[in-house]
A and B are shown apart, each in its own frame.
Chain A
Amino acid sequence: MISIASLTMLYKNDKGVKDVDISLEDGEIKGLLGPNGSGKSTIMRSFMGFLNPSKGTLAVNGIDTLANPVGAKKIIGYLPGDPQLPQNLTSETLFKLGAQMRGDSIDYAMELAERFELDVNQIGKELSKGNRQKTALILAFLHKPQALVLDEPTSGLDPFHQRTFFELVEEFSGNGVSILLSSHIITEIEKITSSIAVLKEGKKIYDEPLSTFKKQAKDDGKDLEDAFFEFYDRKGE
Protein backbone atom coordinates (compact mmCIF):
# COMPACT_ATOMS: atom_id res chain seq x y z
CA MET A 1 0.00 0.00 0.00
CA ILE A 2 1.28 3.44 -0.95
CA SER A 3 0.20 6.53 0.92
CA ILE A 4 1.10 10.11 0.04
CA ALA A 5 -0.64 12.67 2.23
CA SER A 6 -0.52 16.48 2.01
CA LEU A 7 2.71 16.45 0.05
CA THR A 8 4.17 19.89 -0.61
CA MET A 9 7.53 20.08 -2.29
CA LEU A 10 8.45 23.41 -3.85
CA TYR A 11 11.65 24.24 -5.72
CA LYS A 12 13.42 27.60 -5.55
CA ASN A 13 11.41 28.84 -8.54
CA ASP A 14 8.23 28.10 -6.57
CA LYS A 15 7.30 25.25 -8.89
CA GLY A 16 6.74 21.74 -7.58
CA VAL A 17 3.71 20.13 -5.97
CA LYS A 18 1.26 21.52 -3.41
CA ASP A 19 -0.88 19.57 -0.97
CA VAL A 20 -1.11 16.39 -3.00
CA ASP A 21 -2.80 13.30 -1.59
CA ILE A 22 -2.50 9.98 -3.37
CA SER A 23 -3.11 6.53 -2.03
CA LEU A 24 -2.99 3.06 -3.54
CA GLU A 25 -4.43 -0.10 -2.11
CA ASP A 26 -2.64 -3.44 -2.40
CA GLY A 27 -2.72 -4.60 -6.01
CA GLU A 28 -3.90 -1.23 -7.31
CA ILE A 29 -2.26 0.25 -10.40
CA LYS A 30 -2.58 4.01 -10.47
CA GLY A 31 -1.58 6.12 -13.43
CA LEU A 32 -0.21 9.55 -12.69
CA LEU A 33 -1.08 11.76 -15.63
CA GLY A 34 0.00 15.24 -16.56
CA PRO A 35 2.16 17.15 -18.98
CA ASN A 36 5.87 17.87 -18.48
CA GLY A 37 6.45 19.95 -15.37
CA SER A 38 3.12 19.07 -13.78
CA GLY A 39 4.87 17.42 -10.80
CA LYS A 40 4.79 13.68 -11.57
CA SER A 41 8.51 13.09 -11.05
CA THR A 42 8.56 15.42 -8.05
CA ILE A 43 5.96 13.26 -6.31
CA MET A 44 7.88 10.09 -7.10
CA ARG A 45 11.24 11.52 -6.06
CA SER A 46 9.76 12.90 -2.85
CA PHE A 47 8.26 9.51 -2.12
CA MET A 48 11.68 7.90 -2.62
CA GLY A 49 13.29 10.42 -0.24
CA PHE A 50 15.42 12.07 -2.95
CA LEU A 51 13.75 15.41 -2.38
CA ASN A 52 13.14 17.10 0.92
CA PRO A 53 9.44 18.01 1.03
CA SER A 54 8.39 20.90 3.23
CA LYS A 55 5.22 19.06 4.23
CA GLY A 56 3.69 15.66 3.86
CA THR A 57 3.55 12.08 5.05
CA LEU A 58 4.85 9.40 2.72
CA ALA A 59 4.56 5.73 3.51
CA VAL A 60 4.73 2.29 1.93
CA ASN A 61 3.02 -0.59 3.75
CA GLY A 62 3.03 1.58 6.87
CA ILE A 63 6.76 2.37 6.65
CA ASP A 64 7.55 6.09 6.53
CA THR A 65 9.83 6.48 3.50
CA LEU A 66 11.57 9.56 4.92
CA ALA A 67 12.01 8.34 8.50
CA ASN A 68 12.96 4.78 7.56
CA PRO A 69 14.47 4.97 4.06
CA VAL A 70 16.29 1.63 4.31
CA GLY A 71 13.21 -0.32 5.35
CA ALA A 72 11.14 1.41 2.69
CA LYS A 73 13.62 1.02 -0.18
CA LYS A 74 13.97 -2.69 0.56
CA ILE A 75 10.36 -3.15 -0.50
CA ILE A 76 10.05 -0.47 -3.18
CA GLY A 77 11.10 -0.86 -6.80
CA TYR A 78 11.87 2.45 -8.45
CA LEU A 79 12.36 3.40 -12.08
CA PRO A 80 13.68 6.93 -12.77
CA GLY A 81 12.14 9.01 -15.54
CA ASP A 82 15.35 9.16 -17.53
CA PRO A 83 17.51 6.34 -16.21
CA GLN A 84 21.24 7.00 -16.45
CA LEU A 85 23.57 4.09 -15.79
CA PRO A 86 27.33 3.92 -15.20
CA GLN A 87 29.09 3.84 -18.56
CA ASN A 88 31.55 1.04 -17.89
CA LEU A 89 29.49 -1.52 -15.96
CA THR A 90 27.46 -4.30 -17.52
CA SER A 91 23.76 -4.73 -16.82
CA GLU A 92 24.62 -7.96 -15.00
CA THR A 93 27.02 -6.15 -12.66
CA LEU A 94 24.31 -3.63 -11.83
CA PHE A 95 21.81 -6.43 -11.20
CA LYS A 96 24.32 -8.05 -8.83
CA LEU A 97 24.74 -4.82 -6.90
CA GLY A 98 20.98 -4.22 -6.74
CA ALA A 99 20.37 -7.78 -5.54
CA GLN A 100 23.28 -7.94 -3.08
CA MET A 101 22.27 -4.67 -1.46
CA ARG A 102 18.94 -6.28 -0.62
CA GLY A 103 20.31 -9.71 0.22
CA ASP A 104 18.79 -11.29 -2.89
CA SER A 105 20.19 -13.37 -5.72
CA ILE A 106 20.18 -12.21 -9.34
CA ASP A 107 18.24 -15.24 -10.58
CA TYR A 108 15.01 -13.31 -11.02
CA ALA A 109 16.88 -10.45 -12.73
CA MET A 110 18.33 -12.91 -15.23
CA GLU A 111 14.90 -14.40 -15.81
CA LEU A 112 13.54 -10.93 -16.53
CA ALA A 113 16.49 -10.17 -18.81
CA GLU A 114 15.51 -13.22 -20.82
CA ARG A 115 11.90 -12.08 -21.02
CA PHE A 116 12.99 -8.63 -22.17
CA GLU A 117 15.62 -10.14 -24.52
CA LEU A 118 18.35 -8.05 -22.93
CA ASP A 119 22.05 -8.84 -23.42
CA VAL A 120 23.27 -8.51 -19.83
CA ASN A 121 26.93 -8.39 -20.86
CA GLN A 122 26.71 -5.03 -22.58
CA ILE A 123 28.26 -2.11 -20.71
CA GLY A 124 26.35 1.10 -20.06
CA LYS A 125 27.76 3.10 -22.93
CA GLU A 126 26.90 0.33 -25.42
CA LEU A 127 23.25 0.21 -24.41
CA SER A 128 20.63 1.73 -26.69
CA LYS A 129 17.92 3.84 -25.07
CA GLY A 130 15.57 0.85 -25.12
CA ASN A 131 18.11 -1.49 -23.54
CA ARG A 132 18.97 1.12 -20.91
CA GLN A 133 15.27 1.31 -20.10
CA LYS A 134 15.05 -2.48 -19.88
CA THR A 135 18.07 -2.59 -17.54
CA ALA A 136 16.54 0.09 -15.32
CA LEU A 137 13.18 -1.70 -15.33
CA ILE A 138 14.79 -4.96 -14.27
CA LEU A 139 16.65 -3.10 -11.52
CA ALA A 140 13.27 -1.93 -10.24
CA PHE A 141 11.69 -5.40 -10.35
CA LEU A 142 14.59 -7.72 -9.43
CA HIS A 143 13.90 -7.92 -5.70
CA LYS A 144 10.19 -8.63 -6.20
CA PRO A 145 9.14 -5.43 -4.45
CA GLN A 146 5.88 -4.91 -2.58
CA ALA A 147 5.39 -1.49 -4.17
CA LEU A 148 6.54 -0.08 -7.50
CA VAL A 149 7.12 3.54 -8.45
CA LEU A 150 7.70 3.79 -12.18
CA ASP A 151 8.35 7.09 -13.92
CA GLU A 152 7.42 6.81 -17.59
CA PRO A 153 8.15 3.08 -17.71
CA THR A 154 7.52 2.45 -21.41
CA SER A 155 9.70 5.30 -22.66
CA GLY A 156 12.09 3.88 -25.26
CA LEU A 157 10.58 0.39 -25.25
CA ASP A 158 9.44 -1.07 -28.56
CA PRO A 159 5.81 -2.33 -28.76
CA PHE A 160 6.88 -5.97 -28.22
CA HIS A 161 8.67 -5.22 -24.99
CA GLN A 162 5.97 -2.77 -23.95
CA ARG A 163 3.69 -5.77 -24.01
CA THR A 164 6.18 -7.78 -21.91
CA PHE A 165 6.21 -4.88 -19.45
CA PHE A 166 2.40 -4.72 -19.27
CA GLU A 167 2.28 -8.47 -18.57
CA LEU A 168 4.85 -8.08 -15.82
CA VAL A 169 2.91 -5.25 -14.23
CA GLU A 170 -0.26 -7.33 -14.27
CA GLU A 171 1.57 -10.25 -12.63
CA PHE A 172 2.85 -8.03 -9.85
CA SER A 173 -0.52 -6.38 -9.38
CA GLY A 174 -2.09 -9.82 -9.17
CA ASN A 175 0.30 -10.60 -6.33
CA GLY A 176 -0.92 -7.57 -4.39
CA VAL A 177 1.82 -5.12 -5.34
CA SER A 178 0.78 -1.44 -5.43
CA ILE A 179 2.02 0.25 -8.59
CA LEU A 180 2.23 3.98 -9.16
CA LEU A 181 3.28 4.81 -12.69
CA SER A 182 3.48 8.05 -14.56
CA SER A 183 2.85 8.87 -18.15
CA HIS A 184 1.61 11.65 -20.33
CA ILE A 185 -0.05 9.21 -22.72
CA ILE A 186 -3.62 8.38 -21.72
CA THR A 187 -3.94 5.44 -24.12
CA GLU A 188 -0.94 3.77 -22.48
CA ILE A 189 -2.35 4.31 -19.02
CA GLU A 190 -5.68 2.92 -20.17
CA LYS A 191 -4.12 -0.46 -20.93
CA ILE A 192 -2.94 -1.27 -17.43
CA THR A 193 -4.19 1.05 -14.72
CA SER A 194 -7.19 0.64 -12.49
CA SER A 195 -7.27 4.30 -11.41
CA ILE A 196 -5.86 7.62 -12.55
CA ALA A 197 -4.69 10.78 -10.81
CA VAL A 198 -4.25 13.89 -12.93
CA LEU A 199 -1.84 16.67 -12.08
CA LYS A 200 -1.88 20.21 -13.33
CA GLU A 201 0.75 22.79 -12.32
CA GLY A 202 1.63 20.86 -9.18
CA LYS A 203 -1.91 20.27 -7.99
CA LYS A 204 -4.04 17.14 -8.18
CA ILE A 205 -7.17 17.89 -10.16
CA TYR A 206 -8.62 14.38 -10.52
CA ASP A 207 -8.31 11.06 -8.73
CA GLU A 208 -10.86 8.39 -9.59
CA PRO A 209 -11.10 4.81 -10.86
CA LEU A 210 -10.38 4.65 -14.58
CA SER A 211 -13.82 3.12 -15.15
CA THR A 212 -15.44 6.34 -13.88
CA PHE A 213 -13.50 8.45 -16.35
CA LYS A 214 -14.20 5.99 -19.17
CA LYS A 215 -17.94 6.03 -18.41
CA GLN A 216 -17.99 9.82 -18.44
CA ALA A 217 -16.16 9.87 -21.77
CA LYS A 218 -18.60 7.34 -23.19
CA ASP A 219 -21.60 9.31 -21.94
CA ASP A 220 -20.17 12.40 -23.64
CA GLY A 221 -19.66 10.42 -26.85
CA LYS A 222 -15.92 11.04 -26.91
CA ASP A 223 -12.93 8.76 -27.13
CA LEU A 224 -10.73 8.63 -24.06
CA GLU A 225 -7.95 10.83 -25.38
CA ASP A 226 -10.27 13.63 -26.52
CA ALA A 227 -12.20 13.44 -23.28
CA PHE A 228 -9.00 13.70 -21.30
CA PHE A 229 -7.70 16.75 -23.17
CA GLU A 230 -11.07 18.46 -22.92
CA PHE A 231 -11.24 17.72 -19.21
CA TYR A 232 -7.70 18.98 -18.70
CA ASP A 233 -8.29 22.24 -20.58
CA ARG A 234 -11.60 22.84 -18.82
CA LYS A 235 -9.94 22.45 -15.42
CA GLY A 236 -7.50 25.21 -16.26
CA GLU A 237 -10.14 27.78 -17.06
Chain B
Amino acid sequence: MFNYIKYILSVPKKLILTWVLAPAVYLCLLPLAFANESVESILIDTQRDAFSGMSENDGLMNFLGISDWDNVFTLEGMVTTYFMNLFVPILVAISTIVLLNRMSAKAEEDGTFEFIASLPMTRGTIYLTHSIVAVMFGIFISQSWFHIMYIPMATMTLSQTMDYAPMIQAGFQSALGGVSYGVLGFSIAAYTGKSSNGWTFGMGLLGIEWISNMLSRTNDIFLWIDENISSFGAYGNPYKDGLDTGDITLVVAKILIFLVIGFIGFRNRSLNLR
Protein backbone atom coordinates (compact mmCIF):
# COMPACT_ATOMS: atom_id res chain seq x y z
CA MET B 1 0.00 0.00 0.00
CA PHE B 2 2.89 2.36 0.80
CA ASN B 3 4.29 1.95 -2.73
CA TYR B 4 0.87 2.63 -4.19
CA ILE B 5 0.43 5.79 -2.10
CA LYS B 6 3.81 6.94 -3.40
CA TYR B 7 2.58 6.31 -6.95
CA ILE B 8 -0.70 8.16 -6.34
CA LEU B 9 1.17 11.18 -5.04
CA SER B 10 3.84 11.18 -7.75
CA VAL B 11 1.55 10.97 -10.80
CA PRO B 12 -0.32 14.22 -10.07
CA LYS B 13 2.68 15.98 -8.49
CA LYS B 14 2.11 19.25 -10.37
CA LEU B 15 -1.58 19.25 -9.62
CA ILE B 16 -0.94 18.79 -5.90
CA LEU B 17 1.67 21.53 -5.86
CA THR B 18 -0.68 23.90 -7.67
CA TRP B 19 -3.47 23.25 -5.20
CA VAL B 20 -1.11 23.74 -2.27
CA LEU B 21 0.42 26.99 -3.48
CA ALA B 22 -2.09 28.90 -5.63
CA PRO B 23 -4.84 29.42 -3.03
CA ALA B 24 -2.17 30.09 -0.40
CA VAL B 25 -0.70 32.93 -2.45
CA TYR B 26 -4.17 34.42 -2.80
CA LEU B 27 -4.80 33.96 0.92
CA CYS B 28 -1.63 35.89 1.75
CA LEU B 29 -3.28 38.97 0.25
CA LEU B 30 -5.82 39.02 3.07
CA PRO B 31 -3.41 39.74 5.94
CA LEU B 32 -1.34 42.03 3.68
CA ALA B 33 -4.43 44.20 3.20
CA PHE B 34 -3.98 45.00 6.88
CA ALA B 35 -0.30 45.89 6.55
CA ASN B 36 -0.89 49.28 8.20
CA GLU B 37 -3.65 51.83 8.77
CA SER B 38 -3.28 53.56 5.41
CA VAL B 39 -3.25 50.32 3.32
CA GLU B 40 -6.22 49.11 5.33
CA SER B 41 -8.05 52.34 4.68
CA ILE B 42 -7.43 52.12 0.91
CA LEU B 43 -8.12 48.41 0.44
CA ILE B 44 -10.74 47.73 3.07
CA ASP B 45 -12.61 50.91 4.01
CA THR B 46 -13.18 51.95 0.40
CA GLN B 47 -14.66 48.51 -0.34
CA ARG B 48 -16.86 48.67 2.72
CA ASP B 49 -18.26 51.99 1.49
CA ALA B 50 -18.50 50.92 -2.14
CA PHE B 51 -20.45 47.75 -1.37
CA SER B 52 -22.46 49.08 1.56
CA GLY B 53 -25.68 48.66 -0.47
CA MET B 54 -25.14 44.91 -0.26
CA SER B 55 -25.74 44.97 3.48
CA GLU B 56 -29.37 45.86 2.81
CA ASN B 57 -29.87 42.90 0.48
CA ASP B 58 -30.82 39.96 2.73
CA GLY B 59 -30.74 37.44 -0.10
CA LEU B 60 -27.20 38.31 -1.10
CA MET B 61 -26.05 38.44 2.52
CA ASN B 62 -27.52 34.96 3.08
CA PHE B 63 -25.93 33.73 -0.13
CA LEU B 64 -22.50 34.77 1.09
CA GLY B 65 -23.22 33.52 4.60
CA ILE B 66 -22.72 37.00 6.05
CA SER B 67 -24.70 37.91 9.15
CA ASP B 68 -22.65 40.87 10.36
CA TRP B 69 -21.67 43.29 7.58
CA ASP B 70 -19.06 45.24 9.54
CA ASN B 71 -17.40 42.05 10.75
CA VAL B 72 -16.63 41.06 7.15
CA PHE B 73 -14.24 43.98 6.89
CA THR B 74 -12.03 42.78 9.69
CA LEU B 75 -9.28 40.27 9.02
CA GLU B 76 -10.86 37.75 11.36
CA GLY B 77 -14.28 38.28 9.81
CA MET B 78 -13.00 37.90 6.26
CA VAL B 79 -11.11 34.70 6.95
CA THR B 80 -13.52 32.95 9.31
CA THR B 81 -16.82 34.07 7.79
CA TYR B 82 -17.07 33.82 4.06
CA PHE B 83 -13.65 32.44 3.23
CA MET B 84 -13.65 29.46 5.58
CA ASN B 85 -17.38 28.96 5.44
CA LEU B 86 -17.69 29.00 1.65
CA PHE B 87 -14.50 29.07 -0.40
CA VAL B 88 -12.45 26.52 1.55
CA PRO B 89 -15.14 23.80 1.34
CA ILE B 90 -15.65 24.51 -2.38
CA LEU B 91 -11.91 24.47 -3.16
CA VAL B 92 -11.31 21.36 -1.05
CA ALA B 93 -14.25 19.54 -2.66
CA ILE B 94 -13.14 20.44 -6.19
CA SER B 95 -9.50 19.53 -5.61
CA THR B 96 -10.40 16.22 -3.95
CA ILE B 97 -12.69 15.23 -6.83
CA VAL B 98 -10.09 16.28 -9.43
CA LEU B 99 -7.30 14.32 -7.74
CA LEU B 100 -9.27 11.19 -6.93
CA ASN B 101 -10.96 11.06 -10.32
CA ARG B 102 -7.54 11.18 -11.91
CA MET B 103 -6.50 8.18 -9.81
CA SER B 104 -9.69 6.17 -10.08
CA ALA B 105 -12.74 6.70 -12.33
CA LYS B 106 -10.98 8.94 -14.88
CA ALA B 107 -8.02 6.55 -14.89
CA GLU B 108 -10.43 3.72 -15.71
CA GLU B 109 -11.90 5.74 -18.54
CA ASP B 110 -8.56 6.72 -20.06
CA GLY B 111 -7.00 3.27 -19.55
CA THR B 112 -4.15 4.03 -17.12
CA PHE B 113 -5.98 2.12 -14.38
CA GLU B 114 -5.49 -1.16 -16.26
CA PHE B 115 -1.82 -1.10 -15.26
CA ILE B 116 -2.73 -0.54 -11.59
CA ALA B 117 -5.42 -3.22 -11.69
CA SER B 118 -2.87 -5.76 -12.91
CA LEU B 119 -0.68 -5.24 -9.83
CA PRO B 120 -1.07 -7.70 -6.95
CA MET B 121 -3.50 -5.69 -4.84
CA THR B 122 -7.09 -6.40 -3.87
CA ARG B 123 -9.84 -3.97 -4.81
CA GLY B 124 -10.12 -3.32 -1.07
CA THR B 125 -6.48 -2.24 -0.83
CA ILE B 126 -6.82 0.04 -3.85
CA TYR B 127 -10.01 1.59 -2.47
CA LEU B 128 -8.59 1.99 1.03
CA THR B 129 -5.52 3.74 -0.38
CA HIS B 130 -7.70 6.09 -2.43
CA SER B 131 -9.88 6.74 0.64
CA ILE B 132 -6.91 7.71 2.79
CA VAL B 133 -5.75 10.14 0.11
CA ALA B 134 -9.31 11.48 -0.34
CA VAL B 135 -9.64 12.27 3.35
CA MET B 136 -6.12 13.55 3.98
CA PHE B 137 -5.58 15.59 0.80
CA GLY B 138 -8.18 18.30 1.51
CA ILE B 139 -7.06 18.68 5.10
CA PHE B 140 -3.41 18.79 4.05
CA ILE B 141 -3.80 21.44 1.35
CA SER B 142 -6.08 23.66 3.44
CA GLN B 143 -3.67 23.47 6.38
CA SER B 144 -0.89 24.45 3.98
CA TRP B 145 -2.93 27.51 2.93
CA PHE B 146 -3.51 28.67 6.49
CA HIS B 147 0.08 28.07 7.53
CA ILE B 148 1.40 30.00 4.54
CA MET B 149 -1.13 32.77 5.24
CA TYR B 150 0.07 32.89 8.82
CA ILE B 151 3.62 33.75 7.70
CA PRO B 152 2.87 37.51 7.16
CA MET B 153 0.86 37.53 10.38
CA ALA B 154 3.72 36.04 12.35
CA THR B 155 6.48 38.07 10.75
CA MET B 156 4.97 41.49 10.09
CA THR B 157 3.36 44.12 12.25
CA LEU B 158 -0.18 44.32 10.91
CA SER B 159 -2.98 46.64 11.93
CA GLN B 160 -5.09 43.54 12.61
CA THR B 161 -4.04 39.96 13.22
CA MET B 162 -5.41 36.53 14.10
CA ASP B 163 -4.57 33.93 16.70
CA TYR B 164 -2.77 30.88 15.35
CA ALA B 165 -4.45 27.98 17.17
CA PRO B 166 -8.10 29.03 16.69
CA MET B 167 -7.41 29.85 13.04
CA ILE B 168 -5.95 26.39 12.40
CA GLN B 169 -8.87 24.78 14.24
CA ALA B 170 -11.40 26.73 12.17
CA GLY B 171 -9.49 25.81 9.04
CA PHE B 172 -9.66 22.14 9.99
CA GLN B 173 -13.41 22.30 10.55
CA SER B 174 -14.09 24.06 7.25
CA ALA B 175 -11.80 21.69 5.31
CA LEU B 176 -13.59 18.70 6.84
CA GLY B 177 -16.81 20.02 5.31
CA GLY B 178 -15.14 20.21 1.90
CA VAL B 179 -13.73 16.72 2.37
CA SER B 180 -17.25 15.37 2.90
CA TYR B 181 -18.36 16.65 -0.53
CA GLY B 182 -15.10 15.56 -2.19
CA VAL B 183 -15.38 12.10 -0.66
CA LEU B 184 -18.99 11.77 -1.85
CA GLY B 185 -17.80 12.63 -5.36
CA PHE B 186 -14.97 10.10 -5.13
CA SER B 187 -17.23 7.38 -3.68
CA ILE B 188 -19.93 7.75 -6.31
CA ALA B 189 -17.33 7.80 -9.09
CA ALA B 190 -15.80 4.64 -7.58
CA TYR B 191 -19.26 3.06 -7.25
CA THR B 192 -20.19 3.71 -10.88
CA GLY B 193 -16.81 3.95 -12.62
CA LYS B 194 -17.87 7.23 -14.21
CA SER B 195 -15.97 10.39 -13.29
CA SER B 196 -18.87 12.65 -14.33
CA ASN B 197 -21.01 11.10 -11.61
CA GLY B 198 -18.41 12.18 -9.06
CA TRP B 199 -18.85 15.79 -10.10
CA THR B 200 -22.64 15.56 -10.22
CA PHE B 201 -23.04 14.08 -6.76
CA GLY B 202 -20.16 15.83 -4.98
CA MET B 203 -20.90 19.32 -6.21
CA GLY B 204 -24.64 18.60 -6.19
CA LEU B 205 -24.64 17.86 -2.46
CA LEU B 206 -22.45 20.90 -1.85
CA GLY B 207 -24.96 23.06 -3.75
CA ILE B 208 -27.97 21.62 -1.91
CA GLU B 209 -26.39 22.06 1.51
CA TRP B 210 -25.18 25.55 0.68
CA ILE B 211 -28.65 26.60 -0.52
CA SER B 212 -30.14 25.05 2.63
CA ASN B 213 -27.68 27.07 4.68
CA MET B 214 -28.67 30.27 2.84
CA LEU B 215 -32.38 29.68 3.10
CA SER B 216 -32.53 27.98 6.50
CA ARG B 217 -34.29 30.99 7.99
CA THR B 218 -37.05 30.88 5.40
CA ASN B 219 -38.11 27.25 5.28
CA ASP B 220 -38.43 24.38 7.78
CA ILE B 221 -37.03 21.76 5.39
CA PHE B 222 -33.93 23.82 4.69
CA LEU B 223 -33.62 24.51 8.41
CA TRP B 224 -33.79 20.78 9.18
CA ILE B 225 -31.16 19.97 6.55
CA ASP B 226 -28.93 22.76 7.82
CA GLU B 227 -29.20 21.73 11.44
CA ASN B 228 -29.07 17.96 11.05
CA ILE B 229 -27.11 16.84 7.99
CA SER B 230 -25.37 19.79 6.37
CA SER B 231 -21.60 20.15 6.57
CA PHE B 232 -22.11 23.92 6.14
CA GLY B 233 -24.56 23.84 9.04
CA ALA B 234 -21.96 21.97 11.09
CA TYR B 235 -19.59 24.92 10.72
CA GLY B 236 -20.49 27.18 13.66
CA ASN B 237 -17.87 29.66 14.72
CA PRO B 238 -14.86 27.50 15.57
CA TYR B 239 -12.51 30.49 15.62
CA LYS B 240 -14.36 31.90 18.62
CA ASP B 241 -15.96 28.81 20.13
CA GLY B 242 -13.37 26.12 19.37
CA LEU B 243 -14.09 22.77 17.79
CA ASP B 244 -17.45 21.22 18.49
CA THR B 245 -17.43 17.43 18.94
CA GLY B 246 -21.00 17.06 17.71
CA ASP B 247 -20.29 19.01 14.49
CA ILE B 248 -17.12 17.06 13.77
CA THR B 249 -18.83 13.73 14.51
CA LEU B 250 -21.59 14.58 12.05
CA VAL B 251 -19.18 15.37 9.21
CA VAL B 252 -16.91 12.40 9.96
CA ALA B 253 -19.96 10.10 10.04
CA LYS B 254 -21.03 11.43 6.62
CA ILE B 255 -17.54 10.81 5.24
CA LEU B 256 -17.51 7.22 6.56
CA ILE B 257 -20.99 6.48 5.16
CA PHE B 258 -19.96 7.80 1.73
CA LEU B 259 -16.78 5.72 1.79
CA VAL B 260 -18.68 2.54 2.67
CA ILE B 261 -21.17 3.15 -0.16
CA GLY B 262 -18.32 3.64 -2.64
CA PHE B 263 -16.56 0.49 -1.44
CA ILE B 264 -19.66 -1.67 -1.88
CA GLY B 265 -19.95 -0.56 -5.50
CA PHE B 266 -16.25 -0.63 -6.37
CA ARG B 267 -15.70 -4.11 -4.92
CA ASN B 268 -18.45 -5.74 -6.95
CA ARG B 269 -18.43 -4.10 -10.35
CA SER B 270 -16.56 -4.56 -13.59
CA LEU B 271 -13.97 -1.89 -14.26
CA ASN B 272 -15.11 0.74 -16.75
CA LEU B 273 -12.21 0.16 -19.14
CA ARG B 274 -12.29 1.54 -22.62
A residues with CB within 8 A of B = 9, 45, 48-52, 69-71, 73-74, 76, 78, 80, 82-86, 88-89, 93-94, 97-98, 100-102, 136, 139-140
Contact = CB atoms under 8 A, between A and B. Distances in A.
A50 B273 contact: yes
Contacts of B13: 88
Contacts of A82: 111, 274
A101 B120 contact: yes
A51 B270 contact: yes
Interface residues of B, number: 26
A139 B123 CA distance: 20
Nearest to B6: A97
Given A94-B115, A101-B3, 13 more contacts: A9-B270, A45-B271, A48-B118, A70-B120, A73-B118, A76-B118, A80-B114, A88-B11, A97-B119, A100-B3, A101-B119, A101-B121, A139-B115
Contacts, number: 74
Interface of B: 3-4, 6-7, 10-11, 13-14, 110-112, 114-115, 117-123, 268-271, 273-274
A70 B121 contact: yes
Contacts of A94: 115
B112 A84 contact: yes
Contacts of B118: 48, 73, 76, 78, 80, 139-140
Contacts of A70: 120-122
A11 to B, nearest CB: 8
A144 B223 CA distance: 62
Given A52-B268, A86-B11, A136 B115 contact: yes
Nearest to B267: A52
CB-CB nearest 8 A-B residue pairs:
A84-B111, A73-B120, A51-B270, A78-B118, A80-B114, A52-B270, A50-B271, A74-B120
